[in-house]
Amino acid sequence: MKSNIRMFADDTKIWTRIKSATDMQILQTDLDSLSLWTNEWLLRFNPPKCKVMHIGHQISSAYTITQDNTVWKIQEVQEEKDLGIVTTADLKVSKQCMEASARANRVLGMVRRQFRRLDKEGFLIIYKGFIRPHLKYAIQAWSPYLKGDVDQLERVQKCATKMVYGYQKLSYEKRLRRLGLTTLQTRRLRGDLIETYKIITGKENVDPTFFFTLHSGKYNTRGHPYKLEIKRSRLELRRNFYSQRVVHHWNHLPEHVVMADTVNSFKIRLDKEWGTISSP
C-alpha cells in the first residue's frame, strides 16, 4: 500500500493527496490490492457502502472496487458520518453542530416531560450525564468558530439552565454562576488546553509532533519550556483546527500551570488561574 490507511473495527479508510493523474492511478492500484486481499481472505467489503470524498481542490476522478469478479463504482459523497462525527467535503462543522444540538434538545425535551420541577443538584446530574455529552463528544475535532454555530450550541445550555426551579427569571450569566458552570465556549477552550497538556506531557498515547512543534527559541523566565511554534495559516478554516487554535492560549499559560504533575492538578491550577469553577 502506497496510500495512507487506517482501520477501526470493521471500518477501513484509505487516503492520499491527489495532484496528478499518476496519484489517482496509485490510489486505484491500492484499491485493487485491497480487493484482492479481501477476496483471498473472504473478508469482503460491502461495495454499496464504499464511498469517496474529495477535500479541497477537486480533480475529476472515479474509483472502483472489485468484489466477486464484479466491478463497482465507488459512490462520491459531499458528507459522511464517521464515528459519530459528520465530515463534509468543505470541512465546515455547521452540519455537525446542527446534529449535536438536535440530539441534546431531544433529551432536553424528554427531561421536561418527565420532571415538573428540578432543583440544582438534580439538574446538574441530568445535564452533565445526559445532555451536555452530546455537545462535547469529540469536540476537539469539530469545535465551532462561526458565530452562528457557537450560538446554536450555547442556546441548548441556555434553555437547559432555565429548567432549574426559581432560575427562570435570572440572566444566563447568573444561572451559570449559581450552577458552577461556564459557557460552552469557555469549556471547549478548557478542554483544548487539557488535551494539549496530556499530549505534550506524554499522558496521551499520541505523538506530539503529529499536532505540534516545540518552540525552537531559547527558553526564558517569562515563559514555560513547552511553548509551541505558531504556524502560518492561509485559510481561516485551518487557523481554527485544534492544532492551530490552541497554540496562542497554551503559550500564554503561566509556568506553574503547565508544569503540573498530574492532569487533575493541571485542571485545578488552570481553574484557579482563570478564576472560574469548571466541573470535570
**Helix, coil or strand: residue 258:** helix
> What is the predicted pLDDT for the residue at 279?
46
For residue 86, what is the enclosing H or E element?
strand 85-88
> So what's the pLDDT on residue 217?
66
Q: What is the DSSP letter of 218?
A: P
| Global confidence as pTM | 0.85
Cβ 45 vs Cβ 38: under 8 Å: yes
pLDDT at 280: 44
Phi, psi of 35 (to 5 degrees): -60, -45
Q: Say what the pLDDT of residue 56 is.
A: 82
What string of pLDDT tens digits covers the 280 residues of the chain?
A: 899 999 888 888 999 999 888 999 999 999 999 999 988 898 888 888 999 999 887 677 789 998 888 899 999 999 999 889 999 999 999 999 999 999 999 999 999 999 989 999 999 999 999 999 999 999 999 999 999 999 999 999 999 999 999 999 999 999 999 999 999 999 999 999 999 999 999 999 999 999 999 887 655 556 788 999 988 888 888 999 999 999 999 999 999 999 999 999 999 999 999 886 544 4
Whole-number pLDDT of residue 202 = 93
Domain ranges, ordered by start, for the chain: 4-77, 85-179, 187-274
Residues 119/165, Cβ–Cβ less than 8 Å: yes
CA nearest neighbour of 197 among 228, 161, 165, 229: 228
